[in-house]
Amino acid sequence: MVGRVLGGIATSLLFSAFESWLVAEHFKRGFDQQWLSLTFSKAVFLGNGLVAILAGLFGNLLVDTLNLGPVSPFDAASIFLAIGMAVILSSWTENYGDPSENKDLLTQFKGAAVAIASDEKIALLGAIQSLFEGSMYTFVFLWTPALSPNDEDIPHGFIFATFMLASMLGSSIASRLLASNSTRVEIYMQIVFVISSASLLLPLLTNFLVTPSKVKGGGITFAGCLQLLGFCTFEACVGIFWPSIMKMRSQYIPEEARSTIMNFFRIPLNIFVCIVLYNVNAFPITIMFGMCSIFLFVASILQRRLAAIGDKSKTEDWAMMKERDAEAEPLNVP
């Protein structure tokens, strides 16, 4: 239990502090804003994809080939984390924020709550993130029993590697979309959420359209193959989601409260996942996937609302700039 508490703290830091540091350092050095999107895409491609595959293979080597036991991957992970700490301490500059605005923890949380409540764009972004990530983490727990309902012998390692390849493909697509000046992230993410919603409907559809097998054991079934195709599509959407949500967070979340607000977003996410997993035996797996599909469709609706608000804000900003320019022009007096 203590390990899980410390792991939760580490996870919150992993998904907030590093991204906040990167965004602040990027603008501090005067880099082009477009480069930030490319950095996010490469981080997902290399980190969430390629390194995840290599880490899985290395963990399998430690457990199965070298027979070091199931704890050995955790020990190996601590070594890599120590190496990362040494690299960061020796080569990264610290970001202390504005020294004149040192605030205690309670004040920071109050400021983050006020920012979320007063800015609809931030609230929408938090809801979208919680809905998608909640569905994603639920999928992580459900895909194995979905593909082997009768204890079929499925190649878990190969399937996981396939998922990671699909995620890498998605991050590659995202890098092209983010680099395009004609495609806005708020627009294409609506389509991504709809596709991800449809992909997680496949377990429910195959349950009605394909006669389920009652034979215990054996290989993956035809229905399982169809579901696997849908799951790979969902993982590709995950690959697009990560750099895209990072891009939107850099646009809409204020710098001074970015880390706190991002951790605020994780509160409903964790509650959602806990509720789902606590009731996982109360509902069939197909119903759980149907719920995730509904949540993803709601995320697409909220994304559409965010895009509309973004367009309105840009229009208002453009009108204000034109008004200021008009006031600044000298009067032509004859």
Nearest CA-CA partner of 184 in 254, 236, 237, 251: 251
Backbone phi and psi for residue 283, each to the nearest 5 degrees, phi listed first: -130, 150
Q: What is the DSSP string of 109-138?
A: HHHHHHHHHH-HHHHHHHHHHHHHHHHHHH
CA dihedral (180, 182, 184, 185) in degrees, to 10, reads: -20
Express each pLDDT in 211-250 by its tens digit.
766 767 677 888 889 999 999 999 999 999 999 998 999 8
Closest alpha carbon to 285 in 133, 144, 136 = 144
Residue 14 class from Cβ within 10 Å (0-12 exposed, 13-18 middle, 19+ buried)? exposed
pLDDT at 326: 61
Residues 164-167: contacts with CB under 8 Å, at least 24 apart: 164/48, 164/49, 164/50, 164/52, 164/53, 164/56, 164/235, 165/49, 165/53, 166/232, 166/233, 166/235, 166/236, 166/239, 167/44, 167/48, 167/49, 167/235, 167/236, 167/238, 167/239
pLDDT at 148: 87
Task: Give the integer Cα–Cα distance in Å for 41 and 178.
Answer: 9
The neighbour count for residue 264, using CB atoms within 10 Å, is 18
167-195 in b/e form (b: 16+ CB < 10 A) is bbbbbbbbbebbeeeeeebbebbbebbbb
Cα(194)–Cα(85) distance, rounded to whole angstroms? 39
The 8 Å CB, 24+ separation contacts for 212-218 are: 212/149, 213/150, 214/150, 215/150, 216/150, 216/151, 217/150, 217/151, 217/152, 217/153, 218/150, 218/152, 218/153
Buried b (16+ CB within 10 A) or exposed e, 309-327: bbeeeeeeeeeeeeeeeee
Question: 195 and 170 in contact (C-beta within 8 Å)?
Answer: no
Question: pTM value?
Answer: 0.79
Share in percent of the chain as helix, strand, coil (round to 5): 80, 0, 20
Residue ranges in the chain modelled with pLDDT below 50: none
Give the CA diameter of the chain.
95
